[in-house]
Amino acid sequence: MKFKSSKLNDQNFYSEMFKEIRDKQTVLKNSYIENTQVARPKEVLKLARHLTSQDLQVFVLNRLVGGDIFSKGTQSH
């Protein structure tokens, strides 16, 4: 994709995004699940050791707009 901002064309920008995603996945994979039994494949999802497509979309959007816009929550006026 071509973007107007030169920041987004920088290979380091994309490399850093990849590293952040990889680090988030590593944290999830290293979560404590010892002594947990799984009887059916879909029970694995309950362990929350994965990133959803929505997680990834929000992460990428945050980086493209230049900040973590969703971490502060919503403000009521």
- pLDDT computed for residue 21 by the predictor: 92
Pairwise pLDDT comparison (6 vs 52), residue with the higher score: 52
- Nearest CA to 4 out of 48, 74, 66 is that of 66
pLDDT-based confidence at residue 35 (cuts at 50, 70, 90): confident
pLDDT-based confidence at residue 23 (cuts at 50, 70, 90): very high
Question: Cβ neighbours of residue 40 under 8 Å, at least 6 residues apart?
Answer: none
- Would the pLDDT of 13 be above 70? yes
* 45-74 pLDDT, tens digit each: 888 888 899 999 888 888 887 755 555 544
- In the DSSP assignment, the letter for residue 69 is T
